[in-house]
Structure 1
């Protein structure tokens, strides 16, 4: 479909998309989609930097590649695919963004074209067609109801019932400019924002440092998002994503929060993690568990083949009615292991069966072991029930 087609039909299609469940919690994807439609109707060639400058202005710089734009368009493409495979299956206009591209096109729905052609083929008796249609409809209804009313466990039920944001921990990066060399990028311990960097520069005036134009996250971020996305889609649910470096304290008042990452990278999220705990404290590379007058240290260890790490799942309800679930470890397999466990119906059921009630809030410490960081096993070692 060329861009000379009915603008009213395109606007109608846009309104249907943004009011659909797939997009209703994704204001950022809605803004990007609106921008891409306008540019397509104007016949403009869209580039990564044009999206960054138009939509993010001073938060985007062109002197470095900005991976956020590619990520945002990637998730927009995924949401469009999900919409057209579901309730948008019969839309006459398909909004399409080719992989590796930023230009949006308006295509005809090939599904409708094939359906129209099939209507002219009368290869089966009418009664056979009718019975097949009834049987297929009944099967679809049964499968839909089975999925719709399947319980995801009490832990996930309230998180599915409202807006949810998944916050991914990221490292604040700095650039060090040497003579006759490119910028050297690195992270500095305890430097998590501009204020920290400013103080560090004052204490180390001989270093030619500046803030980098990007942050970094380890592989626990994308893998964790992948496991969560599969889990949410199984229950026809969605969540938004943002980085810890972009998170505000007020975000915890607006939505349920899932946190993925290292405790040491927390900024706005730090006051909420272990806030009601009387048994656990964070260590540099692990956790301290105190019971009566005894204390146990749980610290990670690893060699070339195997890894032993400790990871925390903290589940709590805030005073404002929002729920938080933290998946915390300073190493990849720790976070990846506990997220895989809490997005598995069988393993999650085994865990919840150990809790005193069906609405317990808790801090649970797991020993996570892995062979070459691939074969991951989780074992509960300490459990604190929150009142």
Structure 2
């Protein structure tokens, strides 16, 4: 954290509770129930021991797993590091809070690395304010002392008492001192003015943090051809119907209907619904559409070379005329699902499971979406029918799509040993068609991290093969 705390303190209970309330109401931490629950427990643990007059001891990992996350009493931290992951995430969120919304707080709550205890530190900006006040007071004091020293001389001069006046040499010294002081002030003012003018004339150097990402072989092809790019957002297949009781129109989402083909199968099974159910004209988007786009859009220094379109509006011509980047769920792939024909996985009927064609291992969301769960996503890159480049970042839930977009636009991740291990054989021009599977961890839809777990070549001929 840039605002590195320097001086330890022990805030009183009321100040700490008020501080905690502001943290829980902030945009940085307040949107995550798990972060709020965790920081609340840590603070109240500190207050409880403090009120008892006991020596403060940080809670144990097992205690947090049981009390905060509802794990069983036989939880073994040696086999599951999820508490450490959540603490690490909370530590980063607190650092962000004190750099942004909480930058004017009098103190900060810290979780020192290597443990789960709290420490409370003065923030440097508070110390700086105090130091500045002290300096200003000292200057004012010295100014007053000098003014008090000179005032009697001026008063005696006005009274005309020649016997008490300083000698000519003393007057000369005072005059020279005052003249020198004024001259020094003029020079200093001129220097400041000149430097300000020069600073305004110099163009600030703009650091483009995305340039190394554009130059990486993963993304470089996107900017080396002449085609514009479409960021394709996966929207969900929505339906309209009339409420049989009120006759009012309403929008509905049937999880088993994700395409026109699914809808026809539905009508075949329930023919009486054909008269009352229609396809909705309004799009329905999940949060991955917004948060994932946030990571991809800055790749484009020239905004005229990129557009955003819903997958439901994608045309066959778009698959030929544009470079494409799909962001969305497996169930919303639409026309981009052609890549599944050349994939190493088969996609389940409703887009809720992937099966490895070689090992028959099944990948799907495990756990409770309202608590801790594991999601899977697949990143694919392959050549389109006209030499255009198509990327797809698809997952079962928001977590995998957002985490893949974040991971693949992070230069540290792109240069990590983990990524290189799976990607290095596809880095040359000879291997443009491949897929990477990601495993992502989340708690209550809070994204905690991701890793590449497998990779494989795509059969591009199968992708663009004419249907039989």
Match of 2:347 in 1: 282
Match of 1:33 in 2: none
Structure 2: unaligned runs, 5 residues or longer: 1-189, 460-468
Out of 456, 460, 464, which is 1:384 matched to? 456
Match of 1:349 in 2: 415
Match of 1:223 in 2: 291
Distance 1:203 1:298, change over 3 A: closer
Cα separation, 1, equivalents of 2:267 and 2:360: 38
Query: Quick check: which one's strand share is greater?
Result: 1
Cα separation, 2, equivalents of 1:170 and 1:201: 22
Match of 1:365 in 2: 437
Cα separation, 1, equivalents of 2:212 and 2:410: 14
Contact 1:249-1:269 within 8 A present in 2 as well = no
Match of 1:321 in 2: 387
Query: Quick check: which one's helix share is greater?
Result: 2
- Alpha-carbon shift at residue 307 of structure 1 (Å): 1.2
Distance 1:147 1:340, change over 3 A: closer
Distance 1:259 1:125, change over 3 A: closer
For the pair 1:248 / 2:320, whether they are aligned, the reply is no
Contact 1:328-1:335 within 8 A present in 2 as well = yes
Contact 2:319-2:385 within 8 A present in 1 as well = no
- Alpha-carbon shift at residue 127 of structure 1 (Å): 7.2
Match of 1:165 in 2: 230
Match of 2:400 in 1: 334
Distance 1:262 1:132, change over 3 A: closer
Contact 2:330-2:352 within 8 A present in 1 as well = no
State TM-score, norm by structure 2: 0.48
- Alpha-carbon shift at residue 314 of structure 1 (Å): 0.7
Distance 1:236 1:213, change over 3 A: closer
Match of 2:277 in 1: 209
For residues 232-271 of structure 1, the aligned pairs below 5 Å read 232=299, 235-236=301-302, 239-271=306-338
Match of 2:375 in 1: 309
Pairwise CA RMSD of aligned residues? 3.1
State TM-score, norm by structure 1: 0.58
Structure 1: unaligned runs, 5 residues or longer: 1-122
Distance 1:172 1:386, change over 3 A: closer
- Alpha-carbon shift at residue 163 of structure 1 (Å): 0.8
Cα separation, 1, equivalents of 2:385 and 2:440: 32
Cα separation, 1, equivalents of 2:436 and 2:192: 61
- Alpha-carbon shift at residue 189 of structure 1 (Å): 4.7
Cα separation, 1, equivalents of 2:387 and 2:194: 54
Cα separation, 1, equivalents of 2:452 and 2:414: 12
| Number of residue pairs matched by the alignment | 255
Cα separation, 2, equivalents of 1:225 and 1:154: 20
Contact 1:286-1:310 within 8 A present in 2 as well = no
Q: SS in structure 2 opposite 1:206? A: helix
Cα separation, 2, equivalents of 1:182 and 1:204: 21
Cα separation, 1, equivalents of 2:312 and 2:323: 18
Distance 1:149 1:314, change over 3 A: closer
- Alpha-carbon shift at residue 301 of structure 1 (Å): 0.9
For residues 147-158 of structure 1, the aligned pairs below 5 Å read 150=212, 152=214, 153-158=216-221
Q: SS in structure 2 opposite 1:353? A: helix
Q: SS in structure 2 opposite 1:378? A: strand
Q: SS in structure 2 opposite 1:308? A: strand
Distance 1:228 1:356, change over 3 A: closer
Cα separation, 2, equivalents of 1:188 and 1:290: 28
Q: Which has the larger radius of gyration?
A: 2
Cα separation, 1, equivalents of 2:195 and 2:255: 71
